[in-house]
Structure 1
C-alpha cells in the first residue's frame, strides 16, 4: 500500500513541541512521527508524519494540532512509491564476511562457510546491507564484544536494515530492541528479522533518539550498538549513559577517522572507558564500557 508523508520545517524548540503534540494526538493510531535535523547551524528541523489511510483526514487533524499550538505552517504532502528495493539494491552485490558473520542476499545462500553466522539481507531502502565500512566494522567488533561480554539485553539504535540487531540476536540469543527514526526502515527491519528467523527476539519500533516510552520499558541495556553519524552520537552521549547498565558496553560507528577523538571525548565525559577502535575504509568503530 502506498504511504503518504506529511512534512514541514521549523526550529528545534518548536519541532519538539509539535512532535509531543502530534504524538499525543495520534497515539491511538500509532502513526509514525519523526523529527530530523536538516541544518544544525541554521536551526532547521523537519517534522514528518506517515500514514497509509485516511490521508485527507490525517492532514486536517495535523492542521488542528498546529492551530491549537498557535503555529502556522504549510504542510507538504509526499506520496512514497512502492519500489522493489530488494531487486534494485542487491542485484550483483557480493556477500560480505566480517568476523564470524556472513551477510548475503538470497542469490548467495550456498556460499556460506561452515561455522559462519549467516545473515540474509534483502533490503536496500534502509541503510546497512553489510557492504559499507561502518556496518562491516560493527559486525567485526560485535563478534568480539558479544563473545566476551555475554550481554542479556541489547539495543540497536538507528537500526536501518536491522543487520546489527540480527547479528546480536543470532550470536547471543537475547532480546534486542531495534529502533529507527524512519518508519520505512522499521518495516524493512521487521521483515529482515522474520527472514532470519529471529523475529521472536527482535522488537522493531519507530523512535527518534530516546524520545519514546519503549526505552523506559526496556532499559537499562547492557549492550548498545549505534551506527549513525558522529555528531548525533556525540549529542546522544548523556542519554546513552542513562540507558546503559553499569559495566555495560556500547559499539559506535558512522564515524570518520578524523572524528574519532571527538566522539571518544564525548563519551569519556559521561564516564565511559575507551576499550578499542577498529579502522576500516576510512571509518572507525569504537567500543567503550560504562
Structure 2
C-alpha cells in the first residue's frame, strides 16, 4: 500500500485565501499535493493552518515549495508525518459547503445536498483549479452576473479570462445561451480541467454560438482570443497585480459600452485597480463590497476617429493597438 504523509503549517486567513492551487509554486510538484486550509481559532484571522497531503514522503524541495505559500510560517518547524492511508482528495471536499449565489448552486460530488428550487446547479470538484465557488471572489462574480441578467443585460460575445475551473464561463453561458463564449487561462492544465468540468455539466465546447471555445494564454495573447474580439462582456477573476497589468489589454478588447467584471482583489487594492481601468476609458458602474470586492465596469463610448473597431466580413476597419496584445 502506498504511503500517505501530511505537513501542517500555521498561517493567516489572508495567506490561506491567497493560495493558488495551480500557481507556479506547485506547478513542478508531481504528483501535486492535496491542500486544505482551516481555522485553528474561530474568528481569529491570524490563527489558521495549512495542511498538505502527499502520496509519498515529501523531499526538502517539496516542503520548501509548500512553506513558501505561507510566509508567516518561515520560522516554524516543517516536519512531515506519516499517516494512515486515505483518499485525501475526497476527504478535502467533505468539509466544503455548497455555495448558493444568486440563481447558481455550486457543489462538489460529495456535498451536493438538496438543490434549492429554481437554482441552476454546477458540479465543480475542489482542488483541481482555482474558482470552485467557495472563494468570495468567485461568489461575487456569480452574484454580479446574476444581477446583470436580472437587470435586462444582453451579451453576444463573452470571455472568461483566467477561467480556472470554467465555472464563471458556464454561468455566463447559462444566462446568455445564444452568445459566443470563450475561456482562457495561463495554465494549460486549467484548460484540461475546464474540459472535464464542461463534460460533467453538459456544457458544449466549440466555436459557434452557445458553445465554449478554449485557449491557454497569458492574458489575451493568443490568436483565437484576438480574432474573437471585441467582447461585450469580459470576466476576469484573478489577482490585483495581473488585473492592473492587463488593464490596457482588457480595455482594448472590450467593445464600447461593454461590461467588465473584475475580482480577485482585496478591498485595500480596489482603488488602485479602479484607477488603472479609468485611465483606459472605463467607469465603475457598481461593486459588491467586502474584503474581496467584485467590480462591474463599463467602457465609455467614444465617437469619431479615435474609436476602436474590428474588421468586418466585408471591410477592413481600424484596429489601433489590437496587434500589441
On whether the aligned pair clears a TM of 0.5, the verdict is yes
Q: Say whether the 8 Å CA contact 1:152–1:222 is kept in structure 2.
A: yes
Secondary structure class of the residue paired with 2:271: helix
**Residue 167 of structure 1 corresponds to which residue in structure 2?**
171
Q: 1:90 aligns with which of 75, 90, 93?
A: 93
Matches of 1:170 and 1:104, distance apart in 2: 17
Q: Deviations over 1:31-72 (max 9, x none)?
A: xxxxx999xxxxxxxxx9xxxxxxxxxxxxxxxxxxxxxxxx
CA RMSD after TM alignment: 2.2
**1:231 paired to 2:241:** yes
Question: How does 1:1-290 map onto structure 2 within 5 Å?
Answer: 78=28, 80-81=30-31, 87=90, 89-147=92-150, 148-173=152-177, 174-200=179-205, 201-280=211-290, 282-290=291-299
Q: 1:205 to 1:266 in 2, by over 3 A?
A: same
Q: Say whether the 8 Å CA contact 2:94–2:111 is kept in structure 1.
A: no
Q: Say whether the 8 Å CA contact 2:215–2:225 is kept in structure 1.
A: no
Secondary structure class of the residue paired with 1:122: coil
> Which protein, 1 or 2, shows the higher relative CO under an 8 Å CA cutoff with sep ≥ 6?
1
Secondary structure class of the residue paired with 1:107: coil
Q: Say whether the 8 Å CA contact 1:229–1:254 is kept in structure 2.
A: yes
Q: Say whether the 8 Å CA contact 2:231–2:253 is kept in structure 1.
A: yes
Higher strand share: 1
Q: Deviations over 1:73-129 (max 9, x none)?
A: xxxxx5632788852542331100111111011234451112111111014120011
Q: Say whether the 8 Å CA contact 2:96–2:111 is kept in structure 1.
A: no
Report how far residue 275 of structure 1 moved. 0.4
Matches of 2:200 and 2:253, distance apart in 1: 29
TM-score, normalising length from structure 2? 0.62
Q: Deviations over 1:174-221 (max 9, x none)?
A: 332111111111111111111111123222221111211111221111
Q: Say whether the 8 Å CA contact 1:222–1:247 is kept in structure 2.
A: yes
Bigger radius of gyration among the two: 2
- Provide structure 1 residue ranges, at least 5 long, that are not aligned to the other structure: 1-35, 39-47, 49-77
Q: Say whether the 8 Å CA contact 1:123–1:161 is kept in structure 2.
A: no
**Residue 43 of structure 2 corresponds to which residue in structure 1?**
none
Q: Say whether the 8 Å CA contact 1:230–1:255 is kept in structure 2.
A: yes
TM-score, normalising length from structure 1? 0.69
Q: Say whether the 8 Å CA contact 1:102–1:119 is kept in structure 2.
A: yes
Matches of 1:248 and 1:143, distance apart in 2: 16
Secondary structure class of the residue paired with 2:264: strand
Q: Deviations over 1:118-150 (max 9, x none)?
A: 111014120011011111111111111234321
- Provide structure 2 residue ranges, at least 5 long, that are not aligned to the other structure: 1-22, 34-86, 206-210, 300-325
Q: 1:243 to 1:88 in 2, by over 3 A?
A: farther
Matches of 2:99 and 2:217, distance apart in 1: 29
Secondary structure class of the residue paired with 2:144: helix
